[in-house]
Structure 1
């Protein structure tokens, strides 16, 4: 959303004129800016709090020639979303990690992959990447370990909740975190 769209939506929602809405928004921006310059925070109910933070000086390297450059410390604007806003945004995202069946599937997958790595690390798949799809990871593990991997998959199916039996993403993620980019 851009500034003009925000104004149009507020005009529609509030029934006020465009000039009134624009004036109020401009005043809000001006007052917020002045408060931040005075080192004050600006809380906006159900939205969050604007504040100024000090960023310490730091040394960085120039990309072009590798020289060290010292960046001075400076004040930067900071926004902390309110709990209500964070909660509403979180509700838009599937929270599968909160599901006990999902948690159990992850624990089983990590245990099986860790055991396989402990006893058969020499056979580990090479060239896995954290960007690989689930099917690619599973196929690479099957090719590298053969029957051992099929035993791992069978054990995974036997241990996890029936609702998770067809979801091999925890198994692939555990394998990827263990063997990705190994040489």
Structure 2
């Protein structure tokens, strides 16, 4: 499912126009992004939890040349599935 399909499904199921459904989806995504940017964890019970993990600086390799490259430390998004989602995926 892509973003536009999600917007269409919300609009159809809740009798909203596309602009209203799009504002809802955008607000949810923006709030998740803002929380994670602040270092907060976002938990959606039954679905999963979004968090930020810190990756340390390291020495990597350029796969094309084999040359060593210094990779800076960085933050990456991490998603851990909730029990309800895991159970639903494995019951099929």
- With structure 1 as the length reference, what TM-score do the two structures score? 0.48
Q: Which structure ranks higher in relative contact order (CA pairs < 8 Å, sequence separation ≥ 6)?
A: 2
| Structure 2 residue ranges without an equivalent (≥5) | none
| Structure 1 residue ranges without an equivalent (≥5) | 93-183
Once the two structures are superposed, residues 99-144 of structure 1 have per-residue CA deviations (whole angstroms, 9 ceiling, x without a partner) of xxxxxxxxxxxxxxxxxxxxxxxxxxxxxxxxxxxxxxxxxxxxxx
CA distance in 2, matches of 1:15, 1:79: 31
CA shift at 1:65, angstroms? 2.1
Larger of the two Rg values belongs to structure: 1
SS in 2 for 1:79: strand
Q: How do residues 44-59 of structure 1 correspond to structure 2 at under 5 angstroms?
A: 44-59=44-59
CA shift at 1:44, angstroms? 1.3
The structure in which a higher percent of residues are strand is: 2
CA distance in 2, matches of 1:89, 1:59: 37
Once the two structures are superposed, residues 56-104 of structure 1 have per-residue CA deviations (whole angstroms, 9 ceiling, x without a partner) of 1221111222211111110011111111001100112xxxxxxxxxxxx
Q: CA RMSD in A?
A: 1.2
SS in 1 for 2:33: helix
SS in 1 for 2:77: strand
The structure in which a higher percent of residues are helix is: 1
Q: How do residues 1-183 of structure 1 correspond to structure 2 at under 5 angstroms?
A: 1-92=1-92
Aligned residues: 92
CA distance in 2, matches of 1:61, 1:37: 29
CA distance in 1, matches of 2:4, 2:18: 10
CA distance in 2, matches of 1:91, 1:58: 40
